[in-house]
Structure 1
Amino acid sequence: MDLFFGWRTAVLAVAAAILLPLAAGLWISLRNRPASRTLAALLVVMTGVFVPWLIGFAGFYDRWWWLTYAPFSNALLVPPLLYLHAFALVYGRWPALAWRHLLPGAVQFTYQTAAFLLPTPLKHRWADLAFTAGDMIAALLLAISFVVYGVWIIRLLRRYRLALSQERSDDARFATAWLTHAATAYPLLAIVWAGWLLVDAAIPLGYTGLMPLYAAIAGFALYLGIAGWRFLVLPFPTLDALRIPEISSLPGRDWQAQGLEWAGRTREGGWHRDDELTLRRLAALLATNESYLSRALNEGLGTGFSAFVNGLRCEDVAAALAAGDPRPLLVIALDAGFASKASFNRAFQRRYGRSPSAYRASHKP
């Protein structure tokens, strides 16, 4: 039988041609190495997931039947690698005994390899017996894995974003928006992937029926790889370093008054205009410690560190706009200490309930 290279093969081949060099570049990257190498492994695994369809649409399995059970696709490795990548990004390392997370994928790979090495007549009989049941079991395990690791990833990223907002004023620089988008895309991928496989196991959809699923997997892998390449160059603060030590309660301390005093001194000193201001730096400027400052902000003023500093920056921008400052909004925002236009727009909308441009328009004579 002749091979046929149609548009389906072309789409998946282009995705693989981008993903594999991207994975190689991430593997040799010197920045955030644990997270970079985990993401590289994830991209290779996700490429392997759609390789059987890439070569299947071209007619490889019809021409060379012995390729059946070739261990290209190990989908059970995808959810744990997604979790390990998020963990490495947040902590700068893998968790203890991380290899246990990879055991289901290793079992799947071992099973496929053993079936692939069977003599061809025996492989024929085993495929007739086990294909449908094996696909159903794999789809169920994948669905469970997506749910469990999805919950862990979302909790981990929420904890990291909260810790960043309590410690740094430039928390938006560390790809928190990207982490949020990834956490949102993850359950969508899980629903589409596991759901489509379960439907296919019950009612076979055939090669063409599964093409949208594998195109979606390739697209998600490309998104992860390109976004990861952009953001992994940042020196992400680790979650361990962001944790603020607890202190015992101090009876009689008026944290609200203390917070108001320190807020006034911060405003007068213009310290909030430092776009890399941290809790530690501001505590040193105020001649106090991080724990006291954190408590004064959270208990006294009812706000986190990032929201407090960005609120002062928004006040500066609002004062400039009310005074008729003709400079572009971004220039005013950068002078006030914001690191990006996106973080400025979000903070200003949250503080004043309208966009900066609408605020400026309302103060024009």
Structure 2
Amino acid sequence: MLDDLSFGWRSAVLVVAEVQLLIVAAALARAMANRTANRTLALLLLVLVGIVTPWMIGFAGFYDKWRWLSFAPFQITLGVAPLFYFYVHALVTGTWPVPAWRHLAPPTLQFAFLTGSFLLPMPAKNAWSAIITTPYDIVTGIGAIAGMLFYGREALALLHRYRGLLATQRSDDHRFAATWISRAIAAGAALLAVWTVYAVWDALSPLGYTGLMGLYVAIAIFALFIAIEGWRHAALPFPTIESLAIPADPTPPPRDWRALGEAWAAQVRAEHWARDPDLSLATLARRLGTNTGHLSRALNEGLGVNFSTFINRLRCDAVAEAIAAGSTADLLDLALDAGFSSKASFNRAFQAAYGMAPSSYRRAHGSKAE
């Protein structure tokens, strides 16, 4: 029965990618942390597998052997952009945007259209295909491109807001800044450019199955990137935007926020509280005997910094003091002892605080040991 099929290198490349995506999707669906986000990403990966599938089986000759497969509802291209946005939204808020049905209406209609066309008898299906294929490809192609532009912008705006809140509440904000999602959006922009070029090219001069191979390899690469990065961050307990919101002080008494900020900074420095890598605004406020609103105002209005910058500057100062005292310990050990949780966050904070890399600072001010 399979003698008429031909599994060449094109089918092999796509099927290897699909198998990996399905494995990661199954693992994400079972993850307990960030359940809504991880299950949304698993659904997105399944949609991406569906987009690649017709080309994988088409290269193998499935459509030539079983013509009734035409219009099989594999390619729900209009679902990629909203599901990616849903993933970002669920990651930072814990839920999908409301109402979700408005965002999912286009892919639902696309699925219904393909399913209805797929169920037609073969003579009717062939006639329908000759009429509808070109306008359908144009409409869904424009819709997919427009969706990637719109939802990419929305995802970036949401991440920007999230990072701003993180910096006011967490000293380990770099762990949850989700820079990989920004890279995924950039990768999506590159995929959008490739998709647009292929769409225009194919409209002007039909490329056929083999000519579009590059596009579907690009889609598979994008899918594998977000699958791997999503799995790497699947168990990280992201604080939600709601939990990061600082309660408003309805009747704040007049205070000298600068004096308070300087007094609290001196106490934090004396107690070495910045060495706690998980230190948050709420934890520090409890230790200082105040509330998060007052502490936030003392830092923002009094000292002109957000919480993350304040704590990480204290950590950088601790490393600089150790270097000046002649410590020969490894820089990473000094950073971890000061409260940093990674080398990357230490290097970034130290560069911002002192205008040079930690190794350069040591050469200029301390021991020659690296």
Report TM bin, short chain.
over 0.9
Please list the CA deviations of residues 7-52 of structure 1 after superposition, one character each: whole Å capped at 9, or x if unmatched.
1111110001111121111112222111111011000000100101
Match of 1:6 in 2: 8
Secondary structure of the structure 1 residue equivalent to 2:249: coil
Match of 2:92 in 1: 90
Counterpart Cα distance in 1 of 2:247 and 2:201: 50
Query: Could you tell me whether the CA contact under 8 Å between 2:299 and 2:310 is conserved in 1?
Result: yes
Query: Could you tell me whether the CA contact under 8 Å between 1:142 and 1:194 is conserved in 2?
Result: no
Give structure 1 regions of 4+ aligned residues with deviation exceeding 4 angstroms. Answer: 248-252
Query: Could you tell me whether the CA contact under 8 Å between 1:314 and 1:351 is conserved in 2?
Result: yes
- Does 1:137 pair with 2:127? no
Pairing 1:1-365 to 2, within 5 Å after superposition: 2-174=4-176, 176-248=178-250, 250=252, 252-363=254-365, 364=367
Query: Could you tell me whether the CA contact under 8 Å between 2:163 and 2:177 is conserved in 1?
Result: no
Report the alpha carbon displacement of residue 251 of structure 1 after superposing the two structures with TM: 6.6
Query: Could you tell me whether the CA contact under 8 Å between 1:75 and 1:105 is conserved in 2?
Result: yes
**Once the two structures are aligned, what percentage of the paired residues are identical?**
52
Please list the CA deviations of residues 233-260 of structure 1 after superposition, one character each: whole Å capped at 9, or x if unmatched.
0111111010012225757522222212
Cα distance 1:210–1:196, how it changes in 2: closer, same or farther (>3 A)? same
Query: Could you tell me whether the CA contact under 8 Å between 1:140 and 1:198 is conserved in 2?
Result: no
Report the alpha carbon displacement of residue 136 of structure 1 after superposing the two structures with TM: 0.9
Counterpart Cα distance in 1 of 2:214 and 2:164: 36
Give unpaired runs (5+ residues) of structure 1: none
Superposition TM-score, scaled by structure 2 size: 0.94
Counterpart Cα distance in 2 of 1:240 and 1:186: 28
Counterpart Cα distance in 2 of 1:179 and 1:164: 16
- Number of equivalenced pairs: 365
Report the alpha carbon displacement of residue 357 of structure 1 after superposing the two structures with TM: 1.2
Report the alpha carbon displacement of residue 175 of structure 1 after superposing the two structures with TM: 5.1
Superposition TM-score, scaled by structure 1 size: 0.95
RMSD: 1.7
Please list the CA deviations of residues 95-125 of structure 1 after superposition, one character each: whole Å capped at 9, or x if unmatched.
2221221110011111111111122222222
- State the one-letter code of the partner of 1:205: L
Give unpaired runs (5+ residues) of structure 2: none
Larger CA deviation: 244-253 vs 121-130: 244-253
Report the alpha carbon displacement of residue 196 of structure 1 after superposing the two structures with TM: 2.9
